[in-house]
Amino acid sequence: MDNWVIPLTLLPGIGMIIMSTSHLSTATSDEINQLLRDDLCDTSLIKKKISQLFLLNLAKVGLYISIAVFSVAGLIEAIFTLQSEMHDSGLRTILLIIGVSTLVLATLLLIVFSTRKVKIKRDQFLNRINP
């Protein structure tokens, strides 16, 4: 197996972890909403759930960053491999660069989205318990 493929083989597994973490995040958010609907709920429990949600979203950001790093590592290795094997591989190199660059850009956008989502959600929940 070529060295440039190794980082890319990790991406599906990371994607599965992101899906699982997103599901946990949604479930935790639903639990918080349910607790906020209950009048007799202890606010310390809600605060603990909010901190859980924050940790889950930080984990997602870390996973997004790892996807970007592994993609760039695969791209760099692939470029060096293609340059050493073929001298006329301009089109393949350009397509590889465009593909991985878009993946990295999308990953960066997801990182920004995830961090903003956590801040907004946290503020929303805290506003409900501290009117």
User: Is the model's pLDDT at 119 over the cut of 60?
Assistant: yes
Residue 129 has pLDDT above 80, yes or no: no
Task: For 87, list phi and psi in degrees, rounded to 5.
Answer: -85, -25
Phi, psi (rounded to 5 degrees) for 38: -75, 130
pLDDT at 42 over 80: no
Question: Would you say residue 3 has pLDDT above 70?
Answer: no
Helix segments in 38-89, DSSP class H: 43-85
Supply the pLDDT for residue 2.
64
Q: Which of the four pLDDT bands, split at 50, 70 and 90, describes residue 80?
A: confident
Residues 6+ apart with CB under 8 A from 36: 46, 125, 128, 129
Is 113's pLDDT higher than 60? yes
**Is the pLDDT score of 50 beyond 80?**
yes
